[in-house]
Structure 1
């Protein structure tokens, strides 16, 4: 789930249109980058794995396939965590397969991703071990300096892209006596190996270093933990559910006590297979820590699967005050200034310049946007260009044609630097810098004729201008079905950790992938300290001792963005009170009327002294994913309005070894339902005057609007929903009839975008003359289960290609070509929490034959 900040895909925004019309041009989804694998499914059967009932159900399922004359191939059987199989079967038989009673669930093969950008070249340079800066802000240094806990004898599994076991941070060994990596397997065939050696990716090695690395001054959170490494993610940063399920089963067989999963499928639901696997692992008393995802720029409901699992510890990313960064040394006016820079793009050799000329790139009109030929002399120089008005590819091409040695792009807003990705290769090292640094450099360059710059691949410690805020890329909750997600935050930006030796040994990565192993390491320390598999202890300590973050105005960020806030390892390990709130603090779906919500918080005193506490209610910013005209708002809108909270008691005095509960009531009657707000806050328990103890935070969240008043189909992007030809990708006139040959690439494609969670979508065929009367089915059991529609390409819409086939609901295995005639596709969309109010979209007329 790595994201090195905002990824600038050059030219992507140029495809946007200024007006929405029937002839709107929409971007084409690259079919080779889809996260759905065609014609492959993971089926679970009724009955538990290994039982006579489960075996009988599996046998019945395959017998039914044969009876229905549906061809299939078995790729994998699962008999430990799941009672199921991974099979190949043509998509057109989906409804027929779904109709088999012994199929408990049918999951389309959905790839999980660790990274939404290509590997970064600047990782590929030899670096020494350095300490993890984030340890200073999360209590890890305090744990290391004052306790003996280091993860010894705790088994931690990492399901990822493998590990470079030759790295000194992991003992330069694999499965030998005394080696910390004692378990592992490779389930991906792209390296031709059975061991989980990570040479082509780096993600898994980086994650493992944060969790359990140990090399000189570089130490992970649990530097002496025993590791199980399960390679289920390939060199392309993608993992098939076929391999992920096998890895989870093996982690269980090997006795892992904690499992870290730093990847996921965007727009997750808790009944997707990876989430189900998390639930199964927990049922076997294995804690699973997951990265929340890196789709925060896309707003609410973007936590990935498996992080949406009710039983995962879902970790988002927090910015901390000091970070490492790549940089360039700019010398101007006799003064040398270090300036943060992003990684360069991957397609050219690494930049390595010493005392090169540094200058602005100016057009004949005097601007520095780089959108027209560069007019001043920039030969051999690093050229400073401003973002905006044209693609980054165009800017780089103009600098290259003028003889520039490298391109430095400064932002036009205060967002993160991001990484440049060009539309096509430009043989020019290019990187970005912050807006404020760029503006300062412009002033210096305008005042001084001679300036030089040195650029290499070392890192330097910088102040983080985004400190103490959730990272902009960190995915927002809530889980569309109920539980609060993410659970908490950990450091995730510009984390310095181990990389494969062939990628330079150490380097920077950012994302919730980096935050998750931080918490997984803490769970290992808690297990070593004696915490048992008991939510009242271990889980409570991890989550409720975290520190909620506030913005510059002193307002708490929404629980939907930060959970309980920044993890505190020392507090978690030494807290004496435990609270049983982990699974009885749901999100309150108040869709249809104002309500009052009472609930209880249970506590246990595990300390040796009386604990005296006071209670207070803290309101977070309310957020809304619905903007003007009930159109999706990204980022979410905010409001200071919140729910009111009352307590059965405002204080607590509990003796050592005692337990009890107190009552809390939440009322949202003062909130404006037309504002479509998701409200949240914390009930905080803090040490009473004269007592000692930590502050514990218990999050709550609720909806204060009728979601049935919102159209689930967002019409704000590219004129969607609309129908296009697969060969053209231009919205067709909705009032006209359109002929298709259904050959080559001449197929109708329906493009949809959801702005709210969707539970189910059925696709029917109707005659154009009677568009509201279903004639046949395309997909009766197509469970979209999309919190929001996203994939690894960054496009935010569903693409449904119709091949002209249909079937009768009564006999779904009989798929046939629709005869000549005029038809429409009728989409029946069932959003979540809308009082079962189905919404519809009817396509333009599709003409088959002449």
Structure 2
């Protein structure tokens, strides 16, 4: 079959054309800069073509431009697959706002290309900055908090690829709406509500609704729930590729207002009490996050709707898994060619010589542990245990992680033992274990019960003479 035109190859989704030798691309909507001309069709169109090809295997497809084309933007208003998820390590709402940042046509260094199509926060951040500049131009100098309130109040909650409202923990307040921001005369404080976990839950909150206009405004208050979502599973904690959504009535938070219709005089504010009741029927072993929005809708249809996002964890944060077991942590061997091999429990006891393997990169034959965090932690400690798993001391200077959350880390032991009595004494030849301890969320550093621990399989140290 021929799938070419005078410009370039046609790219099909992998699952449809890979078996037939077509040009393969990732199904994720992310494209790197490429000087070659491309064309993409969606999976529905591809399915139709595949059916024709199955009936007529010798069919030649012609994609010449003489028939014209329509620009296709299926994901222009939904969260991107590569967007980061919240909440923060203190269960605060992040992200707070969403902006266009996928497949953006933008300026680029002239020596490379004056314009390029790329994705990421490098493109969504300038979008936000531009709107902030327009807002300041219209309303005068504003504080950061004032700007954030305006951005979040008038953001628009969007649906995701499942045609359900995307949870707050992926889109924040919603997609930024510059037009409604610039004509706003009403605001709500606070711009977001953090409900924390079940242990630290506070269900009573106040909303202050401000009317900066010249006439009285009336508002209707209501609740927009988002699907509760499980960020963890048994095989890959915090795997956001196959998230489990819960959308039944009792799997949302219950929200009650002391008054769901209010009138606010011009240049005045009114306080409204809001009571939250966490979802009642979410599985307790699923570590579910729930979220939604409080909607403040002016009865004047010419005025824009405001929303306030909220989010919480329907569980005790200290029960969240810290390690991505059974895959991580793992004891590994390092090799001179910079490869890493996992040491399995059924393997013979691995012996480490502590000798130099690669002088160029300073790589040694050290016992090493790789770990991948499923939940952020304030502290990680690596302990050295003897053959009977009694504590000998600690690995030097490994008391925390400064790099990105959820990133694979490697802890290597150089054969020196650090403890309260001795500062860096060489470990004698023999058998050892490494124990990784991580502090649970909201845990007490001095409470042993607030740590999650993992012990490596047994290994040996044998220095060569």
1:182-201 correspondence to structure 2 within 5 Å? none
Please state how far the C-alpha of 1:831 moved relative to its aligned partner: 2.4
Q: Is 1:643–2:295 an aligned residue pair?
A: no
Distance in 2 (CA, whole Å) between partners of 1:609 and 1:383 is: 58
Aligned to 2:377: 758
Q: 1:487 aligns with which of 96, 99, 102?
A: 96
Distance in 1 (CA, whole Å) between partners of 2:224 and 2:271 is: 20
Distance in 2 (CA, whole Å) between partners of 1:720 and 1:764 is: 17
SS at match of 1:515: helix
Please state how far the C-alpha of 1:653 moved relative to its aligned partner: 1.1
Q: 1:740 aligns with which of 320, 333, 352?
A: 352
Q: 1:586 aligns with which of 175, 194, 199?
A: 194
Aligned to 2:14: 387
1:351-750 correspondence to structure 2 within 5 Å? 354=6, 382=9, 387=14, 408-409=23-24, 415-416=28-29, 418=31, 434-443=42-51, 446=56, 449-451=59-61, 462-534=71-143, 537-551=146-160, 555-582=164-191, 585-591=193-199, 597-628=203-234, 631-635=237-241, 636-640=243-247, 641-668=251-278, 670-672=280-282, 673-688=284-299, 690=300, 692-716=302-326, 719-727=327-335, 729-734=340-345, 736-745=348-357, 746-750=365-369
Q: 1:826 aligns with which of 407, 418, 435?
A: 435
Distance in 1 (CA, whole Å) between partners of 2:10 and 2:151 is: 47
Deviation per CA, 1:542-581: give whole Å up to 9, x if none: 1110111134776421000111111111111121112221
Conserved 8 A contact 1:827-1:840: yes
Please state how far the C-alpha of 1:785 moved relative to its aligned partner: 6.0
Conserved 8 A contact 2:10-2:38: no
Distance in 2 (CA, whole Å) between partners of 1:630 and 1:449 is: 43
Distance in 2 (CA, whole Å) between partners of 1:808 and 1:661 is: 57
**Higher RCO (Cα < 8 Å, 6 or more apart):** 1
1:107-506 correspondence to structure 2 within 5 Å? 354=6, 382=9, 387=14, 408-409=23-24, 415-416=28-29, 418=31, 434-443=42-51, 446=56, 449-451=59-61, 462-506=71-115
Conserved 8 A contact 1:408-1:432: no
Aligned to 1:782: 399
Closer, same or farther: CA 384–709 of 1 in aligned 2, 3 Å: closer
Please state how far the C-alpha of 1:731 moved relative to its aligned partner: 2.1
Distance in 1 (CA, whole Å) between partners of 2:262 and 2:421 is: 62
SS at match of 1:815: strand
Aligned residues: 437
Distance in 1 (CA, whole Å) between partners of 2:146 and 2:340 is: 55
RMSD: 3.6
Distance in 2 (CA, whole Å) between partners of 1:834 and 1:454 is: 63
What residue ranges of structure 1 are gaps of 5+ in the alignment?
Answer: 1-328, 332-352, 357-381, 400-406, 422-427, 791-796
SS at match of 2:6: strand
Distance in 2 (CA, whole Å) between partners of 1:383 and 1:524 is: 41
Conserved 8 A contact 2:12-2:41: no
SS at match of 2:90: coil
Conserved 8 A contact 1:776-1:808: yes
Deviation per CA, 1:388-432: give whole Å up to 9, x if none: 79xx9xx9xx98xxxxxxx62266xx64365699xxxxxx99997
Q: Is 1:844–2:451 an aligned residue pair?
A: no
Conserved 8 A contact 1:763-1:826: yes
Please state how far the C-alpha of 1:708 moved relative to its aligned partner: 3.8
Closer, same or farther: CA 384–443 of 1 in aligned 2, 3 Å: farther
Please state how far the C-alpha of 1:725 moved relative to its aligned partner: 0.8
Conserved 8 A contact 2:294-2:309: yes
Distance in 2 (CA, whole Å) between partners of 1:713 and 1:493 is: 31
SS at match of 1:730: strand
Please state how far the C-alpha of 1:781 moved relative to its aligned partner: 5.6
Aligned to 1:292: none
Deviation per CA, 1:174-200: give whole Å up to 9, x if none: xxxxxxxxxxxxxxxxxxxxxxxxxxx
Distance in 2 (CA, whole Å) between partners of 1:739 and 1:503 is: 51
Closer, same or farther: CA 540–528 of 1 in aligned 2, 3 Å: same
Distance in 1 (CA, whole Å) between partners of 2:314 and 2:165 is: 19
Closer, same or farther: CA 551–452 of 1 in aligned 2, 3 Å: closer
Aligned to 1:23: none
Aligned to 2:361: none
What residue ranges of structure 2 are gaps of 5+ in the alignment?
Answer: 358-364
Closer, same or farther: CA 675–837 of 1 in aligned 2, 3 Å: same
Distance in 2 (CA, whole Å) between partners of 1:663 and 1:493 is: 39
Please state how far the C-alpha of 1:683 moved relative to its aligned partner: 0.6
Aligned to 1:803: 414
Distance in 2 (CA, whole Å) between partners of 1:430 and 1:529 is: 41
Closer, same or farther: CA 658–615 of 1 in aligned 2, 3 Å: same
Please state how far the C-alpha of 1:513 moved relative to its aligned partner: 2.2
SS at match of 1:684: strand
Distance in 2 (CA, whole Å) between partners of 1:820 and 1:431 is: 63
Deviation per CA, 1:247-301: give whole Å up to 9, x if none: xxxxxxxxxxxxxxxxxxxxxxxxxxxxxxxxxxxxxxxxxxxxxxxxxxxxxxx
SS at match of 2:381: strand
Conserved 8 A contact 2:195-2:202: no
Conserved 8 A contact 2:203-2:277: yes
TM-score with structure 2 setting the length: 0.82
Distance in 2 (CA, whole Å) between partners of 1:529 and 1:468 is: 26
Distance in 2 (CA, whole Å) between partners of 1:692 and 1:443 is: 49
Please state how far the C-alpha of 1:447 moved relative to its aligned partner: 6.2
